[in-house]
Every structure is written in C-alpha cells, then in structure tokens.
Structure 1
Amino acid sequence: MALWQQKHVLSVLMIILCLVLCVCSHERHYYTAPSVTPLTDSFPHVLVDLWFSKSFGASNIKFLNNGSMATLALDKTSGSGVVSRTRYYYGFFSAAIKLPAGQSSGVVVAFYLSNADVFPHNHDEIDIELLGHDKRNDWVIQTNIYANGSVSTGREEKFYLWFDPTQQYHHYSILWNNYHTVFLVDNIPVREFTHGSKYPSIYPSKPMSVHATIWDGSKWATHGGKYPVNYKYGPFVVSFTEMELTGCKSNPTESTVPSCGEVISSSSLDPVNGPEFTKLSQQQIEAMDWARRKLMFYSYCNDRPRFKVLPPECH
C-alpha cells in the first residue's frame, strides 16, 4: 500500500474513533438504585378524571383506562394541564409518569403543588419539573420550593436520572408536612427541605392544589433556553397514572388551619402526623446520600454568582 493510501486510511480511522468517543462522551451512565421501602405502595390510587379537572389545553387532554390515566400533549397551539379538585394542607402526592421519547428540548413536564391562583403575589409552590433534552443529553429533574414569594425566591436543585424515563413509568413523589418536604423518585429521596424554626417564613404553609402539566419552556428549560422546542418532533405526549393524593383536605369555609387529625386515606399510614413521616429512616438517608453524590449537578446553595449572601438554610 502506498504511503498516501496509508495516511488516508489512518485519517479515516481517526475520524471514526473521534465520532465513537463523541457519542460515548454524551451517553448517560445508568445506575442501579439502592433498595428502599416503597412509600407509593402505602397509599391508594385515585381516578384522574374524578380527582382532577382540566386547567388548560383541554383539547390536548385525554382520560384513558376508565379514568385511571391521563395523557397530556404539547403542540404548536398549546400545552395542557390538570389540577386537583381539592386543596391540601400537607400530605403525600405521587404520580407514575412516562415522558415523551425523542428530541424534546424546551419541553417541561411538571408535577407540583401551588396556590398561585389564590395568592398571586405571595404564593407557595413545591415543584417537580422534568426538563427535556437535546440530541446529546437526557431528561433531568429540577426540584424547587418557595413560600410567600415568586420564582425569584426559589431554591432549585437539579439531578440526572439513573434510568431512561421515556421507556416506562417511574414514580415522582412529594411528601409535604409540618416537619419537612421530601422529593422522591421511584421512592428514593433525592432531596429533603426541613421546616426550620430559624426561617419559618420560607416554608410553604398555605393550602395548595396539585397540578400535572406539559408546556413550552423554550426561554429557559434546556441549557438556559439555548435549545427551544422544535415542533417538527411534536406533538409531545406525557402519560400520568397511579396518581396518589393523600393528605389533609382544606375546607374553604374554615378560616383557620385544620388540625388534620383525620387524613383522607384508606391507608393506616398518616403522612401528615404519622411518626413514619416526621424524619427520614436510616435507609432513606443512605439512599438520598447516594442520589445526591451520584446525580445532583446543581444546587442553589452552591450558586455564589446568584446569591451574594447564601440563604440561611445553606449554612
């Protein structure tokens, strides 16, 4: 083989190697999660069509499987969402979610609690937001929590997932009571926000509704808005099932916070006042430590450019 031919073959091999390395460098590594007691097995599922109403994008919402499942779509005309018919003072809230496959940059799927409709200028919110990806990255989960404020007072943390959330259903859950707020993915706690006496005003305390939505977050969701939604790949459809809403129901006629002595549930466990829910078990603490070491890539407590003085709980 002539020298120029050898150089040509070598160049082709180098290009192939670079392409392989490039693909591998952007391929997420999935992990086997620790074993934990599944809280989602402790509470009953509710029928989505009975416990939720359509909040926006009604034409993009379908109730399936006798009302036990809802699909929400995002297309060029609108996103879509459902909201619980009841407001809650604390509880356990969960959904099994299957995310849209394929390129989904700019797409935001959210499962969250909010009272922005009642308190537009000082509302509370507890968020699980699943942020779409470009061709090279996976979906990520962003958690957020704030009280008596707006998104500017938020306390975001972001994590990679240890599985492909588009292949099958996975559970995303929020435990919210007077002791702490815990975010869980497939029953693994990924974050705990404690109700501290030193900063009570930043802890959500007003009754909230439960929301499930899909919407266009092009301005901020994927790499700070670098990759907007490409509707060539739409419509984007997300499925919600195995919904769980167990907690202390708010009575609109009451002017004071109820004692929550009777939690609306067919379970013997009480996520509001039960001793099992006042603090994490050792098993849960170890699982949360694993998730935060392996998968967390952003925390507001490490964001010095954003906070000249870190929020009090970061200390």
Structure 2
Amino acid sequence: MESFRCCRRSCLFVIIIRATLVFCLCSWAQMVSAHSRKYTTPNVKRLTDYFSRISIDEGFSQRFGTQNIQINGTAAKLTLDKTSGAGLVSKSNYHYGFFSAKLKLPAGFASGVVVAFYLSNAEKYPKNHDEIDIEILGRSRRDDWVVQTNVYANGSLSTGREEKFYFWFDPTQDFHYYSVIWNTHHILFLIDNIPVREFPNRGAFTKAYPSKPMSLYVTVWDGSEWATHGGKYPVNYKYGPFVASIADVELNGCSVDGTGSCTKSGGSVSGLDPVDGQDFATLSKEQITAMDWARRKLMFYSYCSDKPRYKVMPSECR
C-alpha cells in the first residue's frame, strides 16, 4: 500500500512537472515577438543610396533635453531618463522631399517609450497643423516594439489615420532605415527601403493631405499615457535610461526660407517638388509587391478597419 502511495505521488509529481513545462512552453511561444520570426524579405531598390548623408550639427538644432543629447558627426544618441526625453529638429522647413535616418532602438524592457521620426508644423500652425509620423512604440513584452505610421492635415487630430506594423527584425540590435517620401503625388513610408504604406494625393485623400512646409523631428520621450495598450503599461525607469541612436541622416527636400523661396539641398533653385522623378512619383512593380508583402504579413491595425472608433469612416476608407 505504501509503495502504491509512493507510486501515485511520483506519478502526480510527473504530471505536475509535465503540465508546468507545457504551460511554460505555451507562455514562451506567446511571448515570442514578431521580429524573431523568420521572413524572406522582398528585393527592392535602395532609395537611401540616392542621397548623401549630412552631419547632425549641419541639419539639426537641439529641440529639448539638451543634457540628454550626444552628437558625434553623422551620429547622435538621444536618451530618455527620469529627468527628460530628448529631441532634434531640422534647421530648415521643407515643402516635400525625401527624409531618412538609420535608427537603433533602446534595448531591454521599454514599455511606454516612444522613438519618433516625423515631419510637423505644429509650432507654426498650432490649430491647423500638418504631420507625417513614424512613431516606434515600446511594448509590454520585453524587446518587442511596433511601428505606427500616421498622417494629419489641417489640424485633423480627431481623425487619426494610424496604421501599425510588427517588425521583421529586432530593431534594438542594429541600425535600420526609416524613410518618408512626401511630394505632390503621395506620401510613402519605408522601413529598410521596403514600402509599408502609401497615402496618395488624389481623390478622397486630397482633403487629408499635408500641404504646408514642415520641420523634421527625431525624438525619444515618455508616452506612458497612451503608447502601450492605451497607457496600461507606463515607462518603468528602473530599466532605463533608454538610449535611441541615430545615424546616416538624409534631408533631401525643398527647403523654405523666410522669403518663401524654395531650394534643393545644395543651393540649386527648384520647384516645390524636388523628388518628382519616376523613382519617387510612382511605385515600381517590385515596390508594389514588397508593400503588399509588408501589409499582409506585418500590419495588424488600420484605421480603415476600426469601425468601433469611427461612427462615420474617413472618406478615403469608403
């Protein structure tokens, strides 16, 4: 009888151990972030090879968090800690152009941290501003980030046009390109030269299309109130400081000076659309294929599918 009890206890112990292992394995599988999956990325033209890089001091002023900004030639580090975030702003305002930088995100648990690469004129037009956003949001799981794109025009903050994507790589381990094309034809968001979203300037989109000159910003800041599950997971500073690195900046746009005239970088007089060639005006077949791949595999939210949020969908969604 005693040996039966021992056997039963042993069997029960084995069952508990097995159940625990199964639970742990399932939990681990759920925690595996999207960028750890293996993807074969499409081949695309490297638009980032078309332009020269500029030094940080040449292209930017320090916007806030000066004590948390370290500049070294064509590279910089922006830090978020308990005292402040950090931000750079372009010295020029631009009306259309190609804007790109390589970014490396803070490693470790970064819930609530926001790293942003965006164009805006909110300071000049506080009630009627335009904005083109790439916002990279820290998540509630370790080393798991997502990228959110957004477009505002004429102060339409109440109608966000967000689309969110998982990464196909770990953005904390190395530098990767984040780029925006903005011209009379369309706005195109690219990651490592792969288009992930196009916002055309035609039809129903026209009223929502940014039209005024904007500055380029690169920032890291505390988005605890909204960035992670609507603010459910705020920044935990015991895992900080949070350091975002930037390098290989490209600002090839129509810079607008105080008189309203327009010049390309380098000083040659141009029209209002310096990136209007075929490589920038329309998508090639390979770019269309690549964007379709990114949206099928990696996009997990689009404002055009958010019926609970909008009683009346934005006109371009209908």
One of 288, 309, 314 as aligned partner of 2:291 = 288
Could you list the runs of 5+ residues in structure 2 that have no partner in the other structure?
Answer: 1-5, 268-272
The aligned counterpart of 2:178 is 172
The residue identity in structure 1 corresponding to 2:22 is: L
| Structure 2 SS opposite 1:272 | coil
**SS of residue paired to 1:151:** coil
Q: Name the counterpart of 2:270.
A: none
Post-superposition Cα deviations, 1:124-152, rounded to whole Å, max 9, x if no partner, equal: 00000000122356100000001101432
Pair 294,51 (structure 1): closer, same or farther in 2 beyond 3 Å:
same
- Aligned to 1:206, the other structure's residue is in SS state coil
* Aligned counterpart in structure 2 of residue 312 of structure 1, from 295, 312, 315: 315
1:210-242 C-alpha deviation (Å, 9 max, x unpaired): 000000000110111110000000110000000
Kept in 1: contact 2:108–2:143 (CA 8 A): no
C-alpha contact (below 8 Å) 1:43/1:265 kept by paired residues:
no
Taking only the aligned residue pairs, the percentage that are identical comes to 57
Distance 1:11 1:271 in 2: 67
CA distance 1:30–1:138, change in 2 (3 Å): farther
Work out the CA distance in 2 between the residues paired with 1:5 and 1:305: 53
CA deviation digits over 1:240-297, x for unaligned, max 9?
A: 000000011112212xxx5x6x63259xxx8522122111111000000000000000
The residue matched to 1:2 in structure 2 has which SS? helix
Q: Does 1:50 align with 2:51?
A: no
State the alpha-carbon separation in 1 of the partners of residues 24 and 274 from structure 2.
50
Say whether the 8 Å CA contact 1:121–1:150 is kept in structure 2: no
SS in 2 for 1:149: coil
What count of residue pairs does the alignment treat as equivalent? Answer: 306
1:19 aligns with 2:38: no
Moved over 4 A (4+): none
Provide the C-alpha distance between the structure 1 equivalents of 2:229 and 2:143, rounded to a whole number of angstroms. 10
Query: Which stretch of structure 1 is more off in the superposition, 51-60 or 128-137?
Result: 128-137
How far residue 314 of structure 1 moved from its aligned partner, in angstroms, is 1.1
The structure 2 residue matched to 1:81, chosen from 84, 87, 103, is 87
- The AA in structure 1 aligned to 2:9 is W
CA contact 1:26–1:137 (8 Å) conserved in 2: no
Q: Does 1:111 align with 2:117?
A: yes
Supply the AA of the counterpart residue of 1:204.
Answer: P
Q: Is the 8 A contact 1:131 1:142 kept in 2?
A: yes
Contact 2:103/2:177, CA 8 A, preserved across alignment: yes
Larger radius of gyration: 2
- Give the structure-2-normalised TM-score: 0.92
Determine the C-alpha separation between the residues in 2 that align with 1:221 and 1:7.
Answer: 45
For the 8 Å contact 2:109–2:142, the answer to whether it is kept is no
CA positional deviation for 1:186? 0.2
Identify unmatched segments of 5+ residues in structure 1: none
Match of 2:214 in 1: 208
Whole-Å Cα distance in 1 between the matches of residues 184 and 217 of structure 2? 21
